[in-house]
Structure 1
């Protein structure tokens, strides 16, 4: 199957509010950049459907789905609903598209699962909302499209699914749903001592769960070691027939909501390592709160997934997309470096393999030997 990109215009201009980290344009920037590069032909671009409540109820509580739709219609929620469903809070505000936008992201991931029945590669950058719980909004996520993608892939014939998550934040919602499922493997790297404060290295499930929390300053060298000694060997040993890669852009150095120090080369290298391991491949977005680093990373990942020629210097139309972005942030929005406008590929960010990271890798390697 020709690699497909799932997008929607609902992301353009939709915002969680002027003070929220998700006030920035993300998916619309990726769409505009990919089009400016000639990477989104009509054959490759699919408009995401909006998932209906009946489809969302495959994982979400119907009562919660009713509450979410009513919140969109009324523009507010009661104190009781706020407490019960964590909706209408600073992190999970009620905004004009509070049901339609996440339902569109979920619709894209559900559709991807069906389209991948016979194999192929799909990118849904609006997906990756890995914190959503069955009956609660959680961590900017109102629905959990990765969970729905897993169920969709399973309905379409996949029997062993590897879910790999390299977001800066642990995938607590996906773990809630599938940590005890023997046919789903969860592999997660995430910053230690950061919300949601789950995903400890000791945490397991009845299924196959591999958590590797990493310290501040986590660099490309350390991610390469984890890639070669944990992620790729564990996925290969699981022998999946489908892989989902949640590609949160908040693990790069420029992101304001983490303290990690990766370049987007780390993400691309993991993508390339995983692609040959299963006939079905779904690439999702996730976190990411700097508009330049998110737009560049997810556009680059689409280029890598679709085997496009990666330019050393962006053409004028693509550069104009990046120069048109604004970011009102005290530290990162002032005087952006020139390469944020002119390239998709970051300079490498190597560093030492620190002893605590090496020890955690060794601990998972030892556990893997016992597992086998």
Structure 2
């Protein structure tokens, strides 16, 4: 089946606020790059829909959803709401689309699950908000669209699913949602000792989780070692009906919120490795706070899913779009030319440390 792409124009001019890490455009950059490269014809594009209340309450508390809608209307919250639901607190700001944007992200992921009911591949870069809790915001995530997508697959009758999370931050909200649920194996490769400070290597979450807390500076070679020697054997032993990949891009070396040292070759290799290991594949976005590296990475994923040749030099429209971006952090003051002209990074290979080898080995033991 031809892969499908789910997007929305809500991301184009939406921002968490000028000083927030999510002030930067991401999904719109990916979409524009894919169109400029000729990889995204209208025939494979789908708009993410606004979900119903019933769909969202499959996981989220109705009172919390009502508080989010009220926050969007009022553009403010009371002290009571802030304390109870963490809206307007701890990096979860009240902003113009504080209900509509996460709801549409969730609608896109649930649509993707329905579209793959009988098999197929869908890329939904607007998804991936893996920290969201049933009744509170957490880690920039107001709703948990991966959980809602996984629940949609379960409701469709699937009972053997792998959720693979390669965001630099542990996918705590998804792991906790499926604690003790044998139908969903959650696997998270994340940076050790980073917020939310969960996902220790010994954390099995009732037996249905594997966690690989990678050391700072983890390079492409180390990431590939973990994938080859731990993750892929786990997936193959399970023979899942579906795989959901949360492809957060904050593990890339240029990201301001993490200290991993990956190139986007690592993400590409993960997609290449898992795309034929289940009849259903759903690829989400997630973290990533440098507009050039995130947009290029997620566009590269879409090209990989479609077996597109990656050009040595981007076409003029793609380059112009990248040059038009701005970034207020230090990396944006003098960006390297390859952020404008290429899609694929130079590999960042290196030595495989003993602690990484031990992590891979530990995740193959019960």
Maintained 8 Å contact 1:244/1:284: yes
Q: Tell me the distance in 2 between the aligned counterparts of 1:169 and 1:204.
A: 17
Task: Give the aligned partner of residue 287 of structure 1.
Answer: 287
Partner of 1:189: 189
Residues 98-107 or 202-211, more deviating: 202-211
Cα-Cα RMSD: 0.9
Is 1:141 the counterpart of 2:141? The answer is: yes
Question: 1:157: Cα distance to partner?
Answer: 3.1
Report deviation, 1:96. 0.7
Deviations 1:240-285 (A, max 9, x none): 1000000000000000000000000011111111111100000000
Q: Secondary structure at the match of 2:63?
A: helix
User: Does 1:111 pair with 2:137?
Assistant: no
| Equivalent residue, structure 2, for 1:359 | 358
- Is 1:23 the counterpart of 2:23 in the alignment? yes
- Distance in 1 between residues matched to 2:357 and 2:160, nearest whole Å: 29
Q: Offset of 1:122 from its aligned partner?
A: 0.2
The CA distance in 1 between the partners of 2:309 and 2:46, in whole Å, is 21
* Structure 2 residue ranges without an equivalent (≥5): none
The answer to whether the 8 Å contact 1:165/1:189 transfers is yes
Displacement of 1:90: 4.6
Matches within 5 A, 1:42-191: 42-191=42-191
Residue 207 of structure 1 deviates from its aligned partner by 4.0
- Distance in structure 1 (CA, Å) of the matches to 2:193 and 2:26: 26
SS at match of 2:101: helix
Q: Aligned partners of 1:157 and 1:43: how far apart in 2?
A: 28
SS in 2 for 1:189: strand
SS of the aligned residue for 2:275 comes to helix
Q: Is the 8 A contact 1:6 1:108 kept in 2?
A: yes
1:307 positional shift:
1.9
* Aligned-pair CA distance for 1:149: 0.5
CA contact (8 A) 1:162 1:242 kept: yes
Number of aligned residue pairs: give it: 366
1:346 to 2:345 alignment: yes
Helix, strand or coil at the partner of 1:307: coil
Query: Whole-Å Cα distance in 2 between the matches of residues 46 and 152 of structure 1?
Result: 18
- The SS at the match of 1:340 is helix
Match of 1:272 in 2: 272
Please say if residues 49 and 108 of structure 1, whose CA atoms lie closer than 8 Å, have aligned partners that are also in contact: yes
* Secondary structure of 1:188 counterpart: strand
Match in the other structure for 1:335: 334
Moved more, 260-269 or 305-314: 305-314
Task: Tell me what 1:8 maps to.
Answer: 8
1: distance between equivalents of 2:192 and 2:284? 22
Q: Which runs of 4+ in 1 moved over 4 A?
A: none
The one-character-per-residue Cα deviations of 1:114-164 (angstroms, maximum 9, x if unpaired) are 110110000000000000000000000000000000011122232211000
Give the conservation status (yes or no) of the 8 Å contact 1:52–1:103.
no
Mapped to 2, the partners of 1:24 and 1:364 lie a distance apart of 35
Deviation at 1:309, TM superposition (A): 2.4
2:125, 2:285 within 8 Å by CA — same for their partners in 1?
A: yes
Q: Secondary structure at the match of 1:43?
A: helix
Q: Distance in 2 between matches of 1:154 and 1:207?
A: 19
